[in-house]
Structure 1
Amino acid sequence: MQATITTNIQDNIATISFFHPAGNSFPSSQLEQLTQELNSAGKSDVISVIILKSEGTGAFCAGASFDELLAVTNLEEGSKFFSGFANIINAMRKCPKLIIGRAHGKAVGGGVGLLAACDYVFAHNNAAVKLSELAIGIGPFVIEPAVSKKIGKTAMAEMTLEPTAWKNANWALEKGLFSKVFSSVEDLDGNLASFAEQLASYNPDALVAMKKVLWEGTENWDSLLFERAAISGRLVLSDFTKNALLQFKK
């Protein structure tokens, strides 16, 4: 079972899927590949809408790879790793195509950031969310702008300051992280397919213009997210974080 990222295009809809055997977590190489896939899809004339999903029946995304975090030995390495999440969120916001997220299971840390950077999210009842970063000695600094944009600073603070508490799918729906929640995978996928097909039937130029409107005021993220990556890169070097990561792995 190897990490994969695949893109399938049908009827002007690109479905980008990612998989990693460790809970669909992200090492830096896979972050780079997903960024490239999003950039490529954004430039394609045959794509009007993008669906972002993960594979399997477990977690949607467990966030950053703990193995790679533990391997960080200096500030440059740490900043570079967290810049992977900065790159992917910037790619999603600047992508001219609307992005629909599919959350079939739990999302942690960077996984929550990915869902927040989607323009619309379909989720299953099992898709609880958590920002666990403070518990391991860092913080959700890179993804904070995207999460706060979607659910507001108050809800963002609630998640961040309760790093061991899961928020259920209905909470995420109420706060605006999720757009629709379904009790079965069949209903989730059926409604997602119908929504994507309808969206892809609209004027492509109108969709591109709408995407720009939805992300107005985020132009400073080109620098902000990398400043935040440097904060996380510094904190991950601390003994507190190294010990906490080892405990989490156990």
Structure 2
Amino acid sequence: MIQTIQDGHVKVETEHGITTIEFYHPQGNALPSKILHELAVAVSAAGSDAGTKVIILRSEGESVFCSGASFDELANIRNEEEGRRFFTGFAEVINAMRKCPKFIIGRIQGKCVGGGVGLAAATDYCIAWNNVDVKLSELAVGIGPFVVGPAVERKIGTSAFSQLAIDATHWRNAEWAKRKGLFAEVHESIENMDESIARLANTLSHSYPEAMREMKKIFWKGTEHWDELLKERAAISGRLILSEYSKIAIEKFKTAVKAS
């Protein structure tokens, strides 16, 4: 797994049946291909580990849970095949979370953008801080939330998903996300959020694994075709990201980040 600060990293720790998967990237916990791949591998491994009863998905830092796709990597995509491969990384993570037989608790401590909203939606129970804001920013860079869309729509419904996808520059607050079902709980402090996560994880770590496995099958019923669907969606994003519109939008974003 990646361990350098420059590239970010994914860390996995298991204690008392609770496996914590934590990711980090210096650019707002962005998701380059390597981190996407390592997240998918980590989730799959925890799912098949007899010592893991429940999983917590979290990121490092305080202000940003996940800023979505790596703009540096997006800017370097030169053809449709490279684009398809990059966006397939999001498909692999979501499908790994979907097929994992263990419940995944999401810890959302900061802003949640694009693919980060997809990660939150793909967890089985998401707990957030009330200062969190969310948005699906893909249309602002000339693509759309095609790969993460099925996970988001499944969790919050078509109407709320379309609102996020269409108004791509507008932030929604944590209470909005809770009303729509993205977050199961919203807490007034980081401490209260973490206490609730610890309580639930401990309870689930002592629950019957086979019962939880069967429950998860029911919760995700109807998504069996996602292996192919998300790959098809990745191809759409991979084609659109090559447009002149996208190239200009990404460069503007990178310039703004450097200036800030």
Q: TM-score range by the shorter chain?
A: over 0.9
Structure 2: tracts of 5 or more residues without a match: 256-260
Cα distance, 1:58 vs structure 2:
1.8
Separation of aligned partners in 2, 1:58 and 1:124 = 11
The equivalent position to 2:172 in structure 1, one of 159, 167, 181, is: 167
**For residue 254 of structure 2, what is the amino acid of its counterpart?**
K
CA deviations 1:125-152 (Å, max 9, x no partner) are 1211000111110000000100000000
* Match of residue 218 from structure 1: 223
1:12 counterpart (8, 17, 28): 17
User: Secondary structure in 2 aligned to 1:60?
Assistant: strand
Query: In structure 1, what residue type is equivalent to 2:236?
Result: I
Task: Give the partner amino acid of 1:49.
Answer: V
Question: AA paired with 2:94?
Answer: I
Q: Which position in structure 2 is the counterpart of 1:236? A: 241
Deviation at 1:231, TM superposition (A): 0.2
Structure 1: which 5+ residue stretches go unaligned?
Answer: none
Distance across 1 between alignment mates of 2:14 and 2:217: 23
2:214 to 209, 217, 220: 209
Please give the residue correspondences for 1:177-196 in structure 2 after superposition, counting only pairs within 5 Å.
Answer: 177-196=182-201
User: Is 2:50 aligned against 1:45?
Assistant: yes
2:147 corresponds to which residue? 142
TM-aligned CA deviation for residue 219 of structure 1: 0.5
TM-score, length-scaled by structure 1: 0.99
Question: What is the Cα deviation at residue 69 of structure 1?
Answer: 0.2
In the TM superposition, residue 61 of structure 1 has moved relative to its aligned partner by: 0.1
1:74 match? 79
Q: Does 1:65 align with 2:59?
A: no
1 CA distance for matches of 2:10 and 2:147?
A: 22
SS of match in other structure, 1:116: helix
Quote the Cα distance in structure 2 between the aligned partners of 1:42 and 1:127. 28
Deviations, residues 44-94 of structure 1 (Å, cap 9, x unaligned):
001110000000112000000000000000000000000000000000000
Deviations 1:86-111 (A, max 9, x none): 00000000001000000000000000
AA in 1 matched with 2:226: W
Quote how far apart the aligned CAs of 1:4 are. Answer: 1.2
CA distance in 2, matches of 1:68, 1:206: 41
| Separation of aligned partners in 1, 2:43 and 2:209 | 17
Provide the C-alpha distance between the structure 2 equivalents of 1:19 and 1:242, rounded to a whole number of angstroms: 26
TM-score (norm 2): 0.95
What SS does the aligned partner of 2:236 have? Answer: helix
- The answer as to 2:135 corresponding to 1:95 is no
Q: Which residue of 2 aligns with 1:124?
A: 129
**Aligned-pair RMSD on alpha carbons?**
0.6
**Percent identity of the aligned residues?**
54
Number of residue pairs aligned between Structure 1 and Structure 2 = 250
Aligned partner letter, 1:226: K
> Which of 174, 181, 187 is 1:176 aligned to?
181
The Cα shift of 1:183 comes to 1.1
Query: Which consecutive segments of 4 or more residues in structure 1 shift more than 6 A?
Result: none
Distance 1:139 1:29 in 2: 22
Report the Cα distance in structure 1 between the residues aligned to 2:218 and 2:50, rounded to whole angstroms.
20
